[in-house]
Every structure is written in structure tokens, then in C-alpha cells.
Amino acid sequence: MNSKLLKDGVIRMVSGILLLGILLFVPAGTIAWKEGWLLMGVLFLPMLAAGIVMYLKAPNLLRSRLSAKETQDEQKTVILLSGIMFLTAFITAGLNYRFGWLRMPSWCVTAACVIFLAAYALFGEVLRENEYLSRTVEVQEGQKVVSTGLYGIVRHPMYLATVFLFLSMPLILNSPISFVIMLVYLPIIAKRIRNEEEVLKTELEGYTEYMDKVRWRLIPLIW
């Protein structure tokens, strides 16, 4: 067992829990916010399970996802914009609960939880299919084009999963205003995808042919 990898994983998990808790419950003015705890649960419990599986079965994948840092300026901009989006959406959700601005029917929250967990399962399948999957835009040593499974349908199934994950979060928090804010993710992820494909076409053998074979980037028949 790799004690350093375990330590890094635990630190990252605890830091994420504390940060999200602060962003949600401080603006809400209370810890008695059930939707806030609901998001914490559906987000971090599957994340913990996935981390344990990767630690036991694919430690190299876990290590790369924990230590990855973007090197390209364009992708650093994408990360910065995403961070601002999340901060704004989560803080707004807390304020929305505190002041009772806009609410949705309870069934919307339940449906959002189902969508979120289904998207998490989709994300897990992508991790299983692509051993080269990274948090950064890069080509790894010995990397090959993956063109089967979900990658035979769309070129970026991981990003498709994140769209459903991120857009369902504000609905779980019962914050329509935050949902509108999170729609900014769509042009952000489109920018990332275009840049990533330019890198892969240049540096990954066979990727241009793969793009000719699989036409759709994110959503079949649409884009």
C-alpha cells in the first residue's frame, strides 16, 4: 500500500468537504439546510467509493488525477472561469436558501439527485474504459486512441458526464438562480474541448482519423 498516495487522497477529500461546506452553509447562515447536506452526501460518498476503488485497483490513475496541473495558458483560463462559476453558484445557493428568493417543487430536487448519480455512474464507466484519462490536457507516454464503448458514440464522454453533474448540483440545492449561473459551464467546456482536440490532433497518433470516425464531440446529432 502507498501511504503517501493514501495521505494525499485523504487530504484532498477532507479539503473538498470543508471548502464546499463553507461555501454553502456560511451564506445560508445555518447548518440546518437539508439540501446542502443532500448535495454533500451525493457528491462525496460516491467520490469516496471511487477513490477507494482507484487506490486498490488503479493507483496510477488516482495518482495522476490527484497531482495533475494544467500547463497550457488557455486551459488555465478555463480552470479559473470554472472556479469563479462554482464559487458564485454555491454562494448564491446558500443566500437563496437564507432569504427564500426562489424555490422549486421537491420532486425537482429528487429528480436532480437521480440525474447526478446516473452521471456519476457514467463518469465511472469512462474511467474504466480509458486508462489514459487525465484531469489535464496532455498526451501521456504510450497513450493510444480509445475508440470503443462510449468513445465510439461521442469523443468526450467524460465532459458529457460533467455537464449533467454540474447542472444537477444547483437543482439539488433547490436554487434556480444558481442553475442559470452554472449554464456558463457550457461555453467553458466547449472552449476546453476545442483546445484539447487541437492538442490531441497534433500530439496523439491516430486522433485525426478517430475524429473522422466519431463525428460528435459531446451530444450525438447535435454537437
Read off the C-alpha cell for 204.
496523439
In a domain, 223, yes or no: no
Give pLDDT tens digits for 20-36. 999 999 999 999 999 99
The domain in which residue 14 lies consists of 3-213
Q: Is residue 32 part of a domain?
A: yes
Domain-located, residue 168: yes
The CA radius of gyration of the chain, in Å to the nearest whole number, is 18
Estimate to the nearest angstrom the gap between the alpha carbon of 16 and the chain centroid: 13
Residue 218 lies in a domain: no
Q: Is 40 or 70 the better-scoring residue by pLDDT?
A: 40
Asked if residue 21 belongs to a domain, the reply is: yes
55 in a structural domain: yes
Residue type, 38: L
Query: pLDDT of 141-186, one tens digit each?
Result: 667 888 889 999 999 999 999 999 999 999 999 999 999 999 999 9
**182: CATH:** 1.20.120.1630
Across 127-132, average pLDDT:
78
Span 68-84, average pLDDT: 78
Would you give the DSSP letter of residue 138? -
Task: Measure the N-to-C terminal CA separation of the chain; round to a whole number of Å.
Answer: 43
pLDDT of residue 64: 73
In a domain, 222, yes or no: no
Would you say residue 221 lies in a domain?
no
Q: What is the mean pLDDT of residues 103-113?
A: 96
Grid cell for residue 38: 443532500
Number of domains in the chain: 1
What per-residue confidence (pLDDT) applies to 32?
Answer: 97
3-state secondary structure 63-106: HHHHHCCCCCHHHHHHHHHHHHHHHHHHHHHHHHHHHCCCCCCH
